[in-house]
Each structure stands twice: as C-alpha cells, then as structure tokens.
Amino acid sequence: MMKKLFVLLFLTFAVVASAAQIKDMKFVCDAKKCGIEFQFASEDDLPTFFQKYDASGKKLTVGFSSTEFALGEGNYDIDAASEWVKFMRVFKEKYRGMDFLKIEMAVGPSIASDKNEISLDDSNFLLKLNGNKGKAWTLSKIFAEKKKAADKAAAEEKKRLAEEKKAAEKQALEAKKAAEKQALEDKKAAAKAAAEEKKRLAEEKKAAEKQALEDKKAAAKAAAEEKKRLAEEKKAAEKAALEEKKRLAEEKKAAEKAAKEEAKRLAEAQKNLDKAIKEGGAISALLPSVKEFTVLMGSGMEQFRLVTDDPIDFNNVSNPDKASIITVGVAGPQKSPTFKIGAGSLVKSVTWGANGLKLQLPVGLRPVILVQDGALVLQTTESAIKKDGFIFWSARPDGIFVRDWMKAADASQSFDSFVNKYDKDSKKIVSGAQVFHLKPVVRELIVVEDEIDMYAGPNDNSQVINRLTFGDRLVNMDLVGLYYKVQSGARVGFVNRRSVSYKDELSAVQQERLKQVDKERGELAEGTVTIASQLDGMYEDRVTYSSFGRRDPFVEVKGLVEEGINIDQVELVGIIWESDVPMAILVEAKNPSISYTLKEGDKILNGKVLKITETDVLFLIQEFGVSRRYSMGLPDKYGGKK
C-alpha cells in the first residue's frame, strides 16, 4: 500500500530535469485483470499523469507531462471490433504552460470510467482496467506490421508504376510511328486536294469571266431598253402635260365664261330690282336662295315651314345646339342680313352662316324636326292664342300673305301693314323694305408652314393634288371641320386649318419672313391688287332686306359711327360660344334696347375685335399712332367668372 502511494506522489509532484519517453504500448490480460502498459525508456524522470473519460464520445484520454512518444504522433488503428481499445490518436497540447502528451483512445463497452487503477513496475506504467478477457497487442508490432504492409504496398505500387511507364513508353512509340505514317498520308492527300482545288478555282474563274461577259451584255441591253423606256415616258409625260395645260386653259376659259355669265345675270337681276324699286313693285322679303317661310298657329299647335332653292336633306339638319340654333346644311351665301320674325314664337330669326342656314329658336325650345318633300318643317305646342282656329302667314318673293281662319277671308296685305300689326311696339322702323349694298368679305389665307399638302377631300387620306410652300396665298371658300376649303390658282382643295393663317393673325416673325418671301418672289409689288379686291366686283350685289319691325343694324344709330362701334359706350352682355363662329353681344350702356353682334376680325372705332373667348372679348385699339389691347369681360350676372 505504501509503495502505491509513493508511486502516485512521485508521478504527481516529481520535477523532471529532462523529458520522459514512451518507447512502446501494450494491452495485456491475465486471469484477474486487463490493462494498458506504457513502457518508458527509463525509470528516471517519470512524468505527471492524468486520465479522463468522455461518456458521450466513448473516449478515454490519458496525458503525460513533458513526454515524448517514440513511435511518433499520429493516428493508430488497433481493432475496430474490440470491446477495449479500437483506435488511438497521439498528439501534444499545452496546459497551464506545460506540454502534455495526450493519447486519446476510442474505446468499447469494457472501458467506461476514468477511475481506473494505476501502478508502476520499474519503468513500466500500468493502467489497470476492469475485466479479464481481451486480445493482447503491442503497439510497436502493430506499427511494424502496418509499416511492413505499407512498404510492401509501396513496392508493389512502384513496380506497377514502372510497368505502366514501360507500357506507356511503348504505346507512345507506337503512336509516334502511327502519327508519322498518318502525317505522310495526310500530306499526300493535302497535295492532291490542293491540286484539285487549284483546278476547280481555275474552272470557276473561267466560268465567272464568261458570266461577267454575259452580264455585261445583258446590262448594256437593259440600259438601252431603260433609256428607250425613259424616252417614251418623257414623251408621254410631255404629252400629258400639254393635255393638262390645254385642259386647264379650257377650264379657265369656261370659268371666265361662267363668271361673265354670272356677272351678266347679277347685273340683270340688279337692273330688275332697281326697276321694281323705282316702280314701287313687290320686293322680296326673303334671304337669298330661300323660296318661302310659312307659319301656321292655333289650336295648341305652331308650325314653321322653310323651302330653299336646293332640296333639304334630313341628314343635313342639326338638332338645336346650346345657343338654341338649328343649322340647315344647304348651299347659300357666306354672309347675309338677319331675317327677324315677329309673328310667331317657334323661330325668332333666320340668317346665312358659313355652314348653312341658321334658325334661331327661343332658349330651351326643342321642336319636332322633319323634312317633307325637300322642305324643312318644325312643329311645337302653342299657347299664345288660346282658342280654336288657325292663323296662317307666308313670306314669298312676291310678298307677305296672311290668312286668319278665325275671321273672314282677308285679301293679301302689304308688308307695312303686316309689320305694324305684329310688332306695334317697334320704334325703329325706317321703312317696310330697305335696299343696301352687301359685299361678302373674301379673306385671304397664307401658308405658314415650310411645305404642306392640298388634298382633294377634307382628310389626310385624300389624294394630294398640290404642294404649297410658306407665303402662298389661298382663297378661303369654306370651313369643313379641321380643314379649309380653298382655291389655289385654278385648283380647289382642302388644307389643314393649322397650316394656314390670316395676314392680321401672323406673328411678327412670320410677317418679316413673309415680306422677305414676297420680295424674293417679286409678289405684292406696289399697285398689285389682292385676291379679295379682285373678287369684290364679282360678288357685289344689291339685296333687299326687310326688317319685320326690328331695327335695321345697317342704319346708323347713336353709338354706331362710320368707323364702327365705340366700345366706351357699350357693355358686354353675352357670348355665343357654341356656334361655328364665336360672337359677342354688346348693348348701349345708356340704352340697353340697342344691341350689336360682333365676331373676331370685325371693325370697331379705331380698331377691331382681336379675340373672343368664353368669358372675354379682346380688342386691338390704334389711337394717335399707338396700338393697345383692351379686354372686356362678362359680368358675373351674365355668366362671367370672378
């Protein structure tokens, strides 16, 4: 007992002067116990020892301080099927400044504790284990056997590699001979192929030269034919141009003839009209191109009937717009006096506009519209008479005819008596029929883009009949949606309204450019007559206007001077915005019963109407050589904006 205690104290507290060495390890068993024997090279300088068991990893680790392992650090396979030691890992590790040699053993179920008994026999250190059955082994022998097996395997591997090297050298030699043979054959084949390719290229060159010669002949032949075709086309084009020139000359001659006949007809009509006025005969109370106005009232119904020179198509009659205006799309003058109707409530007035005949209805009235035998008929309920029977009147070129079926038959009465009867409160009648000169204004349009197309119809998909450039002058004939119907020389077509402008609407830059273009073209020289002035004579006519008891707007009254309306004496009370041409309604400030209607471009005193918007009218005033702009807005009570 004392001997064992001495050994433990010696192992725990000994201070060694030099490192110990384990020269071998054994696993031995006798009849009582098995154990692991650590054979030290000397019983001197034995180290400190510890043991530790890891139950989860099934590992038993023993450690020796300052110890070397003769067989070397590393892994050692013992017996994977053993119930004692299966595998060992030998390594070094520092612990509290001291080097420790650790032997980590993977163990079987026979080793399950680190409380194993230890003993020392000379230089052999024994770790005693519980159990007495186990296969003994010596680590150096296992190491030697494994080293011998490894050396044998290395020798066999070396021998195998030498044999493989020899075989590879033999195969490389054979491959080299085969490659040299194949290279010789390839060289012969390449030489043969090169000869064949040379022969083929020579044949292709010969064929190409032959084809080039044939192509040259064909090209020369085609060029001759093309030259012949172009000559024929040129001849045909010259012939067509000559025919076109001849046709245009004939059209011009026909147009001049028609113009002369129209002038002759107008002169004859003027002569007859002057004669009728002089002799006191009947004068038409209708607008140009209108045959008849007829009104029938009574028994709760009112009917208005309109007959024109050209038959009316139902598809060309619009419903009342926001201004209660019905537009009848029939041919007529661009401008006319207003035919005001005092007898009847269904239609208030009739006048010609740019898109046809315009019928002004009372605000909010929506009559029944129908076309009967090419005549327009409007019908609505009537509440003015409030008794049975009918009142009928008809305005025709030869006078006004009235029939009251509530009374005995009446003879045809004069226009004066008719007006006096149906508009007794009128204070502005000058005469029953007044004669004046009426000249439509032909405004000249100017192309404001570098180049535009003139189409045969009012859309971009129509045939292009002419090309126009900046500064070209056009006669405005009509407005169709986004397109102006214009005349350029002898041709009539359509241009986009955004591509043209009136001269007084040009910007300063456009005006300067127009002057330069005119100068380069030599146009509009001093004494040159514009298109509008050339056409004035053709359109001048004497027209009879019947006021029907209303004030004649062409007669001078207070506020209306020779140069135009004095805007300092009028107020803006309304703007007709929904119509094709916006119009402003002005009244005398001191006498609201006197009113005027203006549109853009109309002249006023010392200026003109520059622009009309939904709520404002902009005037351009020129006084004492200075131009200024004056704006007049709608008062809030008339729909203006604050």
342 or 236, greater pLDDT: 236
CA nearest to 418, candidates 308, 313, 343: 343
Instruction: List pLDDT tens digits, range 367-377.
Output: 888 887 788 88
Q: Which position has the higher pLDDT, 342 or 241?
A: 241
Q: 420 and 449 share a domain?
A: no
Residue 13 reports pLDDT greater than 50 = no
In this prediction, residues 572-583 reach a mean pLDDT of: 83
Identify whether residues 522 and 603 lie together within a single domain.
no
Q: What's CA 520's distance to the chain center, in Å?
A: 41
Which of 281, 305, 336 is at the close of a domain? 281
Task: Tell me if 373 is assigned to some domain.
Answer: yes
Domain assignment of residue 147, yes or no: no
Query: Is residue 431 in a domain?
Result: no
**Which residues touch 19 (CB under 8 Å, ≥6 apart)?**
45, 47, 66, 67, 68
- When divided into structural domains, the chain yields a total of 5
- 428 pLDDT above the threshold of 50: no
Q: What would the two tokens of residue 251 be? A: 């059209």
Instruction: Note whether 527 and 600 are same-domain residues.
Output: no
CATH number of the domain to which 466 belongs: 2.30.30.40
What are the two backbone dihedrals, phi and then psi, of residue 358, each rounded to the nearest 5 degrees?
Answer: -115, 125
> Is 436 domain-assigned?
no
Q: Is the pLDDT of residue 50 over 50?
A: yes
Q: How far apart are the first and last CA of the chain?
A: 124
Structure confidence at residue 306 as a pLDDT band (50, 70, 90):
confident
Q: Are residues 623 and 571 in the same domain?
A: yes
- The verdict on 611 and 577 lying in the same domain is yes
**23 contacts 39 by C-beta, under 8 angstroms:** yes
- Same-domain status, 416 and 304: yes
Q: Judge whether 251 lies within some domain.
A: yes
pLDDT at 196 over 60: yes
Inside any domain, residue 216:
yes
521 and 603 co-located in one domain: no
Q: 359 and 312: one domain?
A: yes
Instruction: Look at residue 145 and tell me if it is in a domain.
Output: no
Q: Which whole number is the average pLDDT over 30-59? A: 89
Domain boundary (537, 566, 585) is at 537
Average the pLDDT over 204-227 and give the result: 92
Residue 473 identity (one-letter amino acid): R
Determine the 3-state secondary structure of 382 from DSSP: coil
To 10 degrees, the CA torsion angle through 328, 333, 334, 340?
-70
User: Per mean pLDDT, which range of 29-33, 289-293, 363-367, 384-388 is the poorest?
Assistant: 384-388
Asked if pLDDT for residue 9 goes beyond 50, the answer is no
Q: Is residue 153 part of a domain?
A: no
- Range of weakest confidence among 164-173, 289-298, 309-318, 611-620: 289-298
Domain boundary among 217, 251, 281: 281
Reported as a single tens digit per residue, the pLDDT across 502-553 is 887 777 788 899 999 988 887 544 444 444 433 334 333 333 444 444 444 4
Both 297 and 422 in one domain: the answer is yes
In this prediction, residue 548 carries a pLDDT of 41
Name the amino acid, one letter, at 35.
G
Confidence band of 32 (pLDDT split at 50, 70, 90): confident
Residue 624's domain comprises 556-638
The whole-number pLDDT of residue 303 equals 85
Q: Note the pLDDT of residue 379.
A: 87
Q: Let me know whether 533 and 564 are in one domain.
A: no
Q: Which of 95-109, 123-137, 277-291 has the lowest mean pLDDT?
A: 277-291
CATH of residue 16 = 2.60.40
Across the strands, what pairs with 446? 473, 501
Q: Highest mean pLDDT: which of 36-40, 145-149, 334-338?
A: 36-40
Element (H, E) at 403: strand 399-404
CB 395 within 8 A of CB 349: no
CATH of the domain at 585: 2.30.30.830
Highest mean pLDDT among 262-276, 410-424, 447-461, 510-524: 447-461
pLDDT score of 430 = 34
Percent of the chain with pLDDT over 90: 30
Most confident of 126-135, 221-230, 280-289, 526-535: 221-230
- Whether 500 has a pLDDT exceeding 70, the answer reads yes
My answer on whether 302 and 387 are in the same domain is yes
pTM, entire model: 0.29
Q: Exposed, middle or buried: residue 103 (CB in 10 Å: 0-12, 13-18, 19+)?
A: buried
Mean pLDDT of the chain: 78
Which range among 142-151, 181-190, 467-476 shows the weakest confidence by mean pLDDT?
142-151
Residue 287 has pLDDT above 50, yes or no: yes
In angstroms, the CA 102 to CA 50 distance is: 9
Lowest mean pLDDT, pick from 7-21, 220-234, 590-604:
7-21
| Cβ contacts of 603 within 8 Å, gap of 6 or more | 563, 564
pLDDT attached to residue 442 = 53
- Indicate the angle between helix axes 139-279 and 531-539, nearest 10 degrees: 40
Summarize pLDDT for 405-427 with one digit per residue, the tens.
665 444 455 555 655 555 444 33
Do 6 and 107 lie in a common domain?
Answer: yes
pLDDT number for residue 469: 93
Question: Over the stretch 64-110, which tens digit does the pLDDT of each residue have?
Answer: 998 999 988 999 999 999 899 999 999 999 887 888 999 999 999 98
- Residue 209 or residue 5, greater confidence: 209
Strands 20-29 and 67-69: parallel
The rounded percent of the chain whose pLDDT value lies above 70 is: 76
pLDDT at 195: 94
Q: Is residue 258 within a helix (H) or strand (E), and if so which, with residue range? A: helix 139-279
Q: Residue 401 has what pLDDT?
A: 66
Q: Are 454 and 468 in contact (CB under 8 A)?
A: yes
Amino acid at 284: S
Lowest mean pLDDT among 27-31, 257-261, 291-295, 385-389: 385-389
Contacts of 147 (CB under 8 A, 6+ apart): none
Looking at per-residue pLDDT, the higher value among 300 and 463 belongs to 463
On the question of pLDDT at 335 being above 80, the answer is no
Q: Is 96 left (phi over 0), alpha (psi -120 to 50) or beta?
A: left
CB 438 within 8 A of CB 463: no
pLDDT digit string, tens, across residues 216-255: 999 999 999 999 999 999 999 899 889 988 988 888 888 7
Question: Across residues 335-346, what is the average pLDDT?
Answer: 68
